[in-house]
C-alpha cells in the first residue's frame, strides 16, 4: 500500500505555523507527515529553522491519527546518539499508537559544524552513523547501556520513557555506498535519489518502508511558481555535493547565484499547476519502488498545494 505524505519544511516556517500546517494536512487526508531537522536554513530567504523535537511535541498534541517521521536527522555530531535516542523515544511516545519513523542520515556541514567539530569525510560519517544506530538501538531496549566505541562513549545510560513500539530507523542514502550501508543497518530507506539507488538497497537485502520526497510550488500560474521557487529554494538545483559541504547560508547564497529561473523551470521542482503533473510525479516515484511519497510545497502559500491535493491528487491514490 502506498502512502502519500506532506512535508513540514522547518527551513521556511515558524514552529507554530508548522503545527497549523500539520493539522490542515491531516484534515486534507494526507497519510503521514515528514518534518525536516535543520540548525540553519539553506538560504536566509527561507527564514526559519526551529528545533524539530519541540515542534514534534506540538504536532503530537494538535493532530489525532496521522503518522509522522523525521526526514532526516543526523545523530552523529550535533546530536550525540544517546541524546538522539532520548529525543526520538520521547517524540515517538507522544504519538501513542501512531507510527513514528526515525529517519537518520550522515547530515550536512550546514548544520553539523555549529559546535566546532571537524566535518569528516563521507566514508567516516557512514562509520559514525552505523555506530550511532547501534547505540540508539541498545538504548531503546530500556536496559542500562555502557558503550566504548570508535566514535562514541556512553556510560551507565538508561532511557525510562520509551514508546510501546520501537520506531523503525530509516536510513537516508543518495549514492550506492550509502545505499549498501542503509540496507545493512536500517529498518527502512529514505532518499530523493535515482532509481539505481533504491535498486542497490534492495539488492543488498534492504527491507522496510521506502521514503521519497518531491518538491512542488503550486501558484496561480507556472511563472509565479517558478519565481517563488527561485526566490525561496534555489538550492534545489545546486550540483554535486555542494549541499553537504557548504557550511553557512551565506555560502549557499553565493553558490545559488549560478541558478537561474530557467534552471528552476527545467529542474526537479514541480511548478505546473495541472494536478496531473503532480499525480504523474508521484506515480514515477511509486514505479521506482517507493511506498511513502511525500511532497513539500515551497513558499508561504501552503493552502494552494493542500487544496490541490485534497481535491485532485490524493483521490487519485486512494
Residues known to be catalytic? 38, 108
Query: Which positions ≥6 away from 33 have C-beta within 8 Å?
Result: 5, 6, 7, 8, 22, 25, 26, 59, 63, 66, 67, 68, 69, 294
Residue 52 burial (CB count, 10 A): 21
List the Cα angle 161/106/144 in 5-degree steps: 30
The x, y and z cell numbers of residue 137, run together, are 538501538
DSSP notation for 43-85: SGGG-----HHHHHHHHHHH-SS-EEEEEEE-TTTTS-HHHHH
Work out the burial of residue 107: count CB atoms within 10 Å of its CB; fewer than 13 is exposed, 13-18 middle, 19 or more buried: buried
Residues contacting 27, CB < 8 A, separation 6+: none
Amino acid at each position: 500500500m502506498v502512502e502519500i505524505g506532506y512535508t513540514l519544511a522547518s527551513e521556511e516556517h515558524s514552529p507554530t505555523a508548522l503545527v497549523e500546517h500539520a493539522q490542515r494536512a491531516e484534515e486534507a487526508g494526507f497519510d503521514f507527515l515528514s518534518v525536516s531537522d535543520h540548525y540553519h536554513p539553506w538560504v536566509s530567504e527561507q527564514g526559519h529553522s526551529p528545533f524539530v523535537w519541540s515542534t514534534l511535541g506540538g504536532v503530537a498534541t494538535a493532530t489525532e491519527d496521522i503518522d509522522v517521521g523525521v526526514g532526516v536527522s543526523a545523530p552523529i555530531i550535533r546530536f550525540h546518539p544517546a541524546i538522539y535516542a532520548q529525543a526520538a523515544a520521547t517524540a515517538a511516545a507522544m504519538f501513542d499508537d501512531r507510527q513514528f519513523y526515525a529517519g537518520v542520515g550522515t547530515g550536512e556541514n550546514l548544520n553539523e559544524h555549529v559546535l566546532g567539530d571537524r566535518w569528516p569525510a563521507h566514508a567516516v560519517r557512514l562509520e559514525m552513523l552505523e555506530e550511532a544506530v547501534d547505540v540508539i538501538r541498545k538504548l531503546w531496549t530500556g536496559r542500562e547501556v555502557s558503550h566504548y566505541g570508535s566514535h562514541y562513549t556512553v556510560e551507565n545510560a538508561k532511557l525510562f520513557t520509551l514508546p510501546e513500539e520501537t520506531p523503525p530507523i530509516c536510513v537516508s542514502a543518495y549514492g550506492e555506498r550509502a545505499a549498501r550501508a542503509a540496507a545493512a543497518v536500517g529498518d527502512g530507506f529514505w532518499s530523493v535519489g535515482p532509481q539505481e539507488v533504491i535498486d542497490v538497497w534492495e539488492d543488498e537485502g534492504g527491507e522496510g518502508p521506502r521514503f521519497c520526497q518531491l518538491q512542488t510550488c503550486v501558484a496561480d500560474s507556472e511563472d509565479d511558481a517558478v519565481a517563488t521557487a527561485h526566490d525561496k529554494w534555489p538550492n534545489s538545483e545546486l550540483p554535486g555535493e555542494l549541499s553537504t559541504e557548504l557550511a553557512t547560508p551565506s555560502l549557499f547564497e553565493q553558490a545559488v547565484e549560478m541558478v537561474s529561473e530557467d534552471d528552476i523551470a527545467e529542474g526537479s521542482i514541480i511548478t505546473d499547476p495541472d494536478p496531473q503533473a503532480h499525480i504523474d510525479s508521484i506515480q514515477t516515484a511509486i514505479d521506482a519502488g517507493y511506498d511513502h511519497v511525500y511532497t513539500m510545497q515551497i513558499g508561504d502559500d501552503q493552502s494552494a498545494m493542500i487544496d490541490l491535493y485534497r481535491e485532485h491528487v490524493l483521490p487519485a491514490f486512494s
